[in-house]
Amino acid sequence: MNFVKRLILRREIDRDVDDEIREHIAEKAAELEAQGMAPTAALLAARREFGNVALTAEQSREVWQYAPLEELLADLRYALRQLRRAPAFAAAAIATLALGIGANTAVFSVVNAVVLRPLPFPDSGRLVTVQARVIQEGAPRPENISYPMFFEFRKHNAAIEHLVSYHATSMALSGAGEAVNVPAEIVSWDLFDALRVPPLAGRAFQPDDETAAAHTVILGHRLWQSKFNADPSVVGRTISLNREPSRSSV
């Protein structure tokens, strides 16, 4: 019998233990009566021989009890009794618990989305971030890598399959209705090769797109839907980013 079943049947098992003790004492008293002892004296003698009834019953229950769970239930019952005696304190305690649980849930949701959940790319476990670190006053601190430094790192890289750069910024988009500021990333040409995610339409960046004269842009899916109505003919169209004409892909 597992401890969950025993917990559910606790009262029945308690009665069984008490019944067994009474039967044992009664059998001993009957035996003493058969030997000629008076009923009252036989019962007292049987109880003396049996020993401490309460202690024996408690020791018998310990055989089937799960002590940590029993203690937890006892603590919960005590806590509930105390809360019923002080309803104002109970309301404050419940509100505090609700706020704490809500805050922890919110924090875990963010951590799960940002840290724990795998990135939506093939082999995302192989993606790593590379940073430069400068030793200042004996302690290392991260530092942004300049484009010349990145190109030099990539030129001599022999350990990483794709060493790519990205820089978050915003740009003024025009040529597609009302001009708006949109979030953007300035990236090296092989970012999509590193992520193993091809564009939905058009082409990915090529090495020549890193030259100063090249102005190639790949539209994000959400921007393509909201500003261009998911029109596939936008591929190859010239749009303006920060007042500079750029040829688009999706």
Shared domain check, 169 and 213: yes
Q: What is the per-residue pLDDT for 233? A: 84
Shared domain check, 77 and 95: no
Shared domain check, 240 and 179: yes
How far from the centroid of its chain's Cα atoms is residue 36's Cα?
A: 74
Mean pLDDT per block of 10 residues along the chain (250 residues) reads 53 70 79 82 77 66 61 81 83 88 89 75 81 78 83 87 88 80 89 87 86 84 86 84 73
Q: What is the per-residue pLDDT for 4? A: 53
Determine, yes or no, domain membership for 159: no
- Would you put residue 36 in left (φ > 0), alpha (ψ -120 to 50) or beta? left
The answer to pTM > 0.95 is no
Shared domain check, 103 and 68: no
Determine, yes or no, domain membership for 209: yes
**Contact by Cβ (8 Å): 17, 9:** no
Shared domain check, 196 and 241: yes
Q: Give the integer Cα–Cα distance in Å for 218 and 232.
A: 13
Give the CB-side neighbour count of residue 67, counting CA atoms within 13 A. Answer: 4
Q: Which two tokens stand for residue 82?
A: 């105390």
Q: List the Cα angle 89/90/91 in 5-degree steps.
A: 90
Q: What is the per-residue pLDDT for 101? A: 92
Q: What is the per-residue pLDDT for 67? A: 60
Query: Which residues touch 234 (CB under 8 Å, ≥6 apart)?
Result: 219, 224, 228, 248, 250
Q: What is the per-residue pLDDT for 65? A: 58
Structural domains in the chain (count): 3
Q: What is the per-residue pLDDT for 66? A: 57
User: What residues make up the domain containing 180?
Assistant: 165-249
